[in-house]
Amino acid sequence: MKIALINGSPKIKNSASGMLLDELKSLRSGDCITEYGFHTPALPSEMDLEAFAQQDAAVFALPLYVDGVPSHLLNCLCRLEQYFVKHPSNLTVYAIVNCGFFEGNQNRHALEIMKNWCARCGLKWGQGVGIGGGGMLTGLQSVPAGKGPRKNFSAAVRQLSEHITVGKSTEDIYVLPNVPRFAYKMGAKAEWRQQIKMNGLTEKDLFRKL
């Protein structure tokens, strides 16, 4: 198969979106994979839209921004829509959206945006995956796929890969991290405190009213 993997994170390196796509890529060793980085409002300069439209499947991975897609990615989607309206394609689209919230279904609105975009472009919608606990993903790079706190994440990616193989359209799935909610919240708070100290502030500054 010809598959396009699109990293829609504004982060060029060390993003949860990139990590999820890398895991998916590891399951598709027999396919022709083309990777794109949609990190700015402009489409990649080297992107061949005709070749992109001829892929069998496209997988977008992106972070949740205010219950929607990041604004820079939205601009890229609008540019792609202009192309697809004039050049029909049999491309099947899948999307993986991750968020810092514990609950994966917090990503449902962003997945609806991706579905509506497909409808406007005349593309086939495959499936969406909503990943909760995305804030911990980049800290798990040393954990083998499918193990420990990565178990649910990996199971979702593997299921998506299986559906891509057969070009299946099915219900979206939502994933929780393999850690208790209280432990995830404690970890997030510790990370915030560490970051604010790195920026020369104190914990009290978290509660300042501007």
Q: What confidence tens digit (pLDDT) does each residue in 49-70 have?
A: 999 999 999 999 999 999 999 9
Distance CA 101, CA 73 (A): 20
Range of the domain at 96: 2-179
What pLDDT score was predicted for residue 146?
75
Shared domain for 168 and 188, answered yes or no, is: no
For residue 176, what are the CA distances in angstroms to 24, 135, 179, 207, 209?
Answer: 18, 12, 8, 29, 33
Shared domain for 186 and 171, answered yes or no, is: no
Shared domain for 206 and 147, answered yes or no, is: no
Shared domain for 150 and 207, answered yes or no, is: no
Tens of pLDDT along 119-130? 999 999 999 999
Shared domain for 70 and 148, answered yes or no, is: yes
Distance CA 85, CA 128 (A): 22
Shared domain for 87 and 13, answered yes or no, is: yes
Distance CA 72, CA 43 (A): 10
Shared domain for 145 and 166, answered yes or no, is: yes
Shared domain for 6 and 21, answered yes or no, is: yes
Shared domain for 117 and 140, answered yes or no, is: yes
Tens of pLDDT along 144-166? 787 777 899 999 999 999 999 99
Domain count, the chain: 2
